[in-house]
Amino acid sequence: KAGVTQTPRYLIKTRGQQVTLSCSPISGHRSVSWYQQTPGQGLQFLFEYFSETQRNKGNFPGRFSGRQFSNSRSEMNVSTLELGDSALYLCASSIRTDKYEQYFGPGTRLTVT
C-alpha cells in the first residue's frame, strides 16, 4: 500500500509570496492533518480535515489555510510568507479522526528568504 505523499518536497520562496502544498493520503484514509515542524518549537498542529470538513484548527494566524477534496487529497496554503514560516510541513493521514494513529508523509521543506 502506498504511503502518504507530499509535493513538492522542497520549496524556496520570497517574503510576501504565497505557497500551496499538496498531500495525498493513504488509500482509504479519510482524515488528513497538517503540522509545522521547526527546531525550536517541534511539531505544531495546524489543522485537521475529515470528509472535506475542517474539524480542528491550531493556533496559527489566518494566513495559514487548508482544504480537503472529495478524494481525501488535501492542500494547505500560506499567504504573505514571513521568514518565520521556514519549516518542514508535514501531512499525516488516518482512517478517521480521534483515537486512530496517524501516518506521516516525508514533508515539504519550505525556505523563505
Partner 1 sequence: EDQVTQSPEALRLQEGESSSLNCSYTVSGLRGLFWYRQDPGKGPEFLFTLYSAGEEKEKERLKATLTKKESFLHITAPKPEDSATYLCAVRGNEKLTFGTGTRLTIIP
Q: Which residues bind partner 1 (CB under 8 A)?
A: 4, 33, 35, 42-43, 45, 48, 56, 58, 90, 92, 98-107, 109
* Cα(33)–Cα(101) distance, integer angstroms: 11
H helix intervals, 3-112: none
H helix intervals, the chain: none
* Cα(81)–Cα(113) distance, integer angstroms: 9
For residue 85, the minimal CB distance to partner 1 (Å) is 19
Nearer to partner 1, 19 or 90 (CB): 90
- Copy the grid coordinates of residue 77: 496554503
* Cα(29)–Cα(92) distance, integer angstroms: 10
- Specify the residue for cell string 498542529: 45
For residue 21, the minimal CB distance to partner 1 (Å) is 13
Nearer to partner 1, 58 or 67 (CB): 58
Nearer to partner 1, 3 or 16 (CB): 3
Nearer to partner 1, 42 or 84 (CB): 42
For residue 103, the minimal CB distance to partner 1 (Å) is 6
